[in-house]
Each structure stands twice: as C-alpha cells, then as structure tokens.
C-alpha cells in the first residue's frame, strides 16, 4: 500500500505524468527504505540481485521503471483498486496491492520521488508505505508503516522517525474516497474509477486495452 498527497498545480501534475521515472539515485538513502519501521533489518533489493535467476521478471520491472507515471498508473488503473488524480491543488494517490510486492512498491516510490520537481515550492511531502494485506485502510492505531519517503524539489529520502499520526490525518480524505469505492464493490458493483482516476490516465488505460 502506498498513499500520498503532494501539493502541485495541474500543469505540474501533467508534466509529472509525462516525465520518465527517475533512477534510484533520486533517493538520497535508498538502503534506508525499511530502516526503523515495521520491516526493520530487511534489505532493500533496488538492484534486483535477488531476481538473478528470474531474468524475465527483472526485465519487466526495469521496463516499468523506464516508463512514465502515466504508463504505470494506466496499467494499475486497468486492474482497479487505484486512486490517482489531481484534486484541490494536489497530486493524490492511494495504491492497493493485495499481495505485497516490494519491487512494485519500489517502482511506485520512484514514481513519487519524481513528483518533487513538479510540486509546489515549500516543505517536503511524505509518502506512506504500509502493509495493507487484506484490508486497505491506513495503518490502525499502534500499527507501524513499512516506510516513509519524504519528497522534495531536489531529492527524496527515507525518513525515520516521522510523525505518522499527523501524516495519516493528512491522508484521511484520500482514504475515505478509496474506501467508499471499495465498499461499493463489496455490495456487488464493479470498481468505478470515476472521480478516483484522472481522465488522462483512464484514456491511456483504455488505449492499452485489458491487462
């Protein structure tokens, strides 16, 4: 699970969508991804070394990292359970994965690290990564996230500690819209991206066809 709300103009949002993802060097301390939080002590395999025996899988990850946020989010939107939009002067994302995929999460974090150069000038914005498993809610009281990425105009960095309760409250409006769409699916409706996914992303998703 990854969520963020990054202040940004519509022009900045469109520029971010069409700009290729940055490399790992956009993060000042990539090896600190898990440090201090719920997965403390784990190694962050940014170089895909653990996939040496699976070259096709590694090639797919590298291809995704060579694309743009528009490519990435259009593919995700085709599978549902995705919120990615520009609303009220901010980029908002809420990305759900039923089975934790650390490589996919790293790609999403690189995508958001690249948003900093298009964001409004000012303080860094925090991206929250946590283990959603079955339930897509933000971390419950006492639950630790897995990582917090601070995104700035010049670079991004993983941070520990960080005031997570304040970050969760900042993300509550995004969570509320996502959970409302999930609840509609629980009642038997199909996932409806209207209002959750930007029209430009939906248009690219439709052009790409079904996954």
Higher-confidence residue of 83 and 144: namely 83
H-helix segments, 114-151:
none
Whether the pLDDT of residue 210 is over 80: the answer is no
| pLDDT tens-digit series, residues 163-204 | 999 999 999 999 999 999 999 988 778 889 999 999 999 999
Omega of the bond leading into 115 within 30 degrees of 0 (cis) = no
What integer best gives the mean pLDDT of the chain? 93
| pLDDT tens-digit series, residues 26-46 | 999 999 999 999 999 999 999
Mean pLDDT computed over 6-10: 97
Mean pLDDT computed over 139-150: 88
122 confidence band (pLDDT: 50, 70, 90) = confident
Strand partners, 27: 156
- The rounded distance, in Å, linking the Cα atoms of 137 and 185 is 15
Contact (CB, 8 A) for 120 and 8 = yes
Burial of 6 from C-beta contacts in 10 A (0-12 / 13-18 / 19+): buried
Stretch among 124-133, 134-143, 162-171, 175-184 having the lowest mean pLDDT = 134-143
**Order of strands, sheet of 125-129, starting from the edge strand that comes earlier in the sequence:** 82-87, 90-95, 2-7, 125-129, 147-151, 156-158
Whether the pLDDT of residue 211 is over 60: the answer is no
Contact (CB, 8 A) for 92 and 196 = no
**Which of 211, 206, 202, 179 minimizes the C-alpha distance to 73?**
202
140 confidence band (pLDDT: 50, 70, 90) = confident
Q: Which sequence spans correspond to the domains of the chain? A: 2-208
pLDDT at 132: 64
């Amino acid at each position: 699970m990854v969520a963020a709300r990054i202040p940004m103009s519509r022009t900045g949002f469109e520029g971010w969508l069409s700009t290729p993802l940055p490399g790992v060097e956009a993060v000042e301390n990539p090896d600190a991804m898990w440090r201090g939080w719920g997965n403390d002590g784990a190694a962050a395999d940014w170089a895909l070394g653990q996939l040496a025996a699976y070259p096709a899988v590694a090639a797919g990850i590298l291809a995704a990292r060579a694309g743009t946020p528009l490519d990435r989010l259009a593919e995700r939107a085709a599978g549902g359970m995705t919120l990615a939009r520009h609303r009220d002067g901010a980029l908002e994302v809420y990305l759900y994965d039923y089975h934790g995929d650390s490589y996919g999460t790293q790609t999403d974090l690189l995508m958001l690290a690249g948003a900093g150069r298009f964001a409004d000038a000012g303080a860094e914005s925090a991206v929250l990564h946590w283990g959603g498993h079955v339930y897509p809610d933000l971390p419950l009281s006492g639950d630790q996230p897995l990582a917090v990425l601070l995104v700035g105009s010049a670079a991004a960095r993983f941070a520990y500690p960080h005031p997570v309760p304040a970050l969760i409250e900042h993300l509550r409006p995004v969570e509320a819209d996502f959970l409302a769409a999930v609840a509609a699916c629980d009642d038997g409706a199909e996932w409806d991206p209207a209002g959750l996914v930007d029209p430009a992303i939906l248009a690219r998703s439709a052009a790409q066809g079904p996954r």
